[in-house]
Amino acid sequence: MHADAGRGLERRIVRQLATGQWIAAHQHVLITGPTGVGKTYLACALGQQACRHGYRVLYRRLPRLFDELTLARADGSYATLMARFARADVLVLDDWGLSVLKDGQRQDVLEILEDREGARSTVITSQLPRDQWHVALGEPTIADAIIDRLVHNAHEIALTGPSQRGVRRPTPRD
């Protein structure tokens, strides 16, 4: 993992997160910023580094997570799936806040985070700044509970800059 100060990513924070101590301390990482600035890339790099340290990592885009939970309810594997999320040392939830959550979705997120509280780490990526998460979560009481479980013990990274999609990066041969 490398740092880019022009994107709001400090080398000191990247080095600190690369040690994996945030996972051992059951801390979270919240990565926000506009489309294409590298939120998912950074989240996956943190997940890959966690794997190198021997941690179990799961990655889910939030829209697909909700589809997976709906199917698990229908086929009777909901409890097994929730247990799997609870056991992952690091759970990466990508694309947080793309749309306002429905009642059942809010409850699912709260249950997942409650099961992980103080025992596991979660990485969130979102285009929304954290101060707009209440709106995306919807119901204020549950939104407070969800956000409290995330921000209480979190490293927050706000990426900036233009989209990097389609930007050619130099290779060692260049």
Q: Is the pLDDT assigned to residue 7 strictly greater than 90?
A: no
The more confident residue out of 156 and 100 is 156
Share of the chain above pLDDT 70, in %: 91
118-125 mean pLDDT: 97
Determine the 3-state secondary structure of 145 from DSSP.
Answer: helix
14-30 mean pLDDT: 96
Instruction: Answer for the pair 32, 39: CB distance below 8 angstroms, yes or no.
Output: yes
Kind and range of the H or E run holding 149: helix 140-151
Residues 6+ apart with CB under 8 A from 14: 1, 2, 3
List, for residues 51-66, the tens digit of each pLDDT value.
999 999 999 999 999 9
Q: Give the relative orientation of helices 140-151 and 103-116 as an angle to the nearest 10 degrees.
A: 30
Instruction: Answer for the pair 65, 109: CB distance below 8 angstroms, yes or no.
Output: no
Homologous superfamily (CATH) for 5-158: P-loop containing nucleotide triphosphate hydrolases (3.40.50.300)
Confidence of residue 152 (pLDDT cuts 50, 70, 90): confident
**Residue recorded with tokens 């954290």:** 130
**Would you state the structure tokens that stand for residue 109, as one six-digit string?**
């997120």
Lowest-pLDDT range, 1-10, 110-119, 131-140?
1-10
Instruction: Answer for the pair 90, 120: CB distance below 8 angstroms, yes or no.
Output: yes
Q: Give pLDDT, residue 171.
A: 54
Instruction: Return the domain boundaries, the chain.
Output: 5-158
Q: Give pLDDT, residue 3.
A: 52
The predicted model scores a pTM of 0.88
Q: Give pLDDT, residue 73.
A: 96
Q: Which range is most confident: 34-38, 83-87, 130-134?
A: 83-87
